[in-house]
Amino acid sequence: MNIIEIINKKRLKQTLTDDEIKYVIDNYLSGEIKDYQMSSLLMAILLNDMTNEEIYSLTKYMAESGDKLDLSSLGDNVVDKHSTGGVGDKTTLIIAPIVASCGVKVAKMSGRGLGHTGGTIDKLESIPGFTVNLTEEDFLNQVNEIGVAITSQTENIAIADKKIYALRDVTGTVESIPLIASSIMSKKIALGAKKLVLDVKVGNGALIKNIDDAKRLSNLMIDIGKHNNIEVICVLTNMNIPLGNNIGNSLEVEEAIDILKNHKLGSLRDLCIELSSHMVSLGLKITYEEAKERVLNNLDNGEAYNKFVELVTKQHGDINNLPKATGKYEIKSMTKGYLIDIDAYKLGILSMNLGAGRKNKEDKIDYSAGIIVKKNINDYINEGDVIMTLYTNKEITEIDNTIFKISDKKIEDNKLIYEIIK
């Protein structure tokens, strides 16, 4: 058995055995299989797919490639949440404190930016002093003490996933359904999750572009969950437009704070209420309607925001001194009419080019860089109106003028949530 044979087998659309997949994971970790060889296999998987059995094996060996976390000491009201990634997706920053304020424990391990999408850990690192690397003991103690902790994926949890995740980001293999499913679920298995709500993003700003692929991914992750005694709910959500108005790390923290203070309405708040309600329902074993009532009450009475402040303080962050970019550029509309489309993917690329994301895994992020979109879908725009503001420490050279689409008529179908799969 050798890696060249395995690459060729997948290149020829053949099914890999359990032993072959174990061989790949073991030898990639040991260094016997090189990055360039693994990149070749990842591309073959992206192009030729995997069977469910192959994906179960890949998930299993990635989960077993490091330590496993035992959450049993936290009780049975622990619920995890994960998003498949999207432009402007800062939901974890909002949902984790909401859910914790309702009495459900959130032990969250998050990742960094992947391609044009931002990572929760990058957003949290934009808060001066915020500690994203908690020891296992500190992580569990904090969840027991205040009901919530967010940490980066440790070196010893799902080691293979961490290594492959970084490689996918820079080899054009981010959007593979088998690789997305195995990455997400291997982490959740290793983390000891037993209840999980998945936000499956669909659209041009997401890794998954269409409903059929989103349904396949959702059903696949639900099946992997059943194989591992994890109760999974998938919420399919619209990522054809950015989530909220702010894109970029510290800017997204600012928007999360606005939502938690109940100062801002819109699709981002609506989605966070939906996801939080499903998590509270799972954690407390109550109906969705009862859970939603608790979520709304804690947004209204300030308990959700107070829990966010408690989380940030506990992890040594200072939300009063978020980084600010030196450059601010207003982009104005050249025409008038109703805003009917915002290309989330192109906004994500623009934000990355401003410094808010990574083109290569060695790149350093500018936490202050990003975009604030000033208009929402179906808003009327006059010629000369500011449509977005760019924040960067780089020089601006050229802006894609196809990001926004303006028409003389509003659009009718602007659904936020497509489907819920259990």
Catalytic residues: 82, 161, 168, 183, 187
Look at strands 80-83 and 386-392 and give their pairing. unpaired
For residues 256 and 275, give the distance between their C-alpha atoms in angstroms, rounded to a whole number. Answer: 15
Give me the phi and psi of 49, to 5 degrees please: 70, 180
The sign of the torsion formed by the CA atoms of 280, 189, 46, 223 equals negative
d(CA 137, CA 126): 24
At residue 113, the 3 state secondary structure works out as coil
H or E stretch covering 41? helix 35-48
Nearest to 418 by CA among 177, 287, 266, 234: 234
Burial of 151 (0-12, 13-18, 19+ CB in 10 A): buried
Question: Rounded distance, CA 345 to CA 241, Å?
Answer: 8
Phi (first) and psi of residue 375, to 5 degrees: -125, 155
